[in-house]
Amino acid sequence: MTTATITSTTLEVTGPPPGQPDISYHPVYEKWQARTAHRLQEEADNLPKTLPGGFPGKLTGDLVWEGQTIADTYDWTYVLSPEQLAEINQALLHFKGENGRSLLFHDTKLEWNRIDAELLNDLQDSMNPLAL
Q: Which amino acid is at 76?
A: W
List, for residues 31-66, the tens digit of each pLDDT value.
989 988 988 888 878 878 889 999 998 888 888 888
Q: What is the pLDDT of residue 30?
A: 92
Q: What is the pLDDT of residue 85?
A: 92
Of all residues in the chain, the percent with pLDDT exceeding 90 is 11
Return all residues near 94 (Cβ < 8 A) that are at least 6 apart. Answer: 103
Residue 115 to residue 121: CA distance in whole angstroms: 10
Q: Where are the domains of the chain?
A: 82-127
More confidently predicted of 27 and 127: 27
Return all residues near 51 (Cβ < 8 A) that are at least 6 apart. Answer: 57
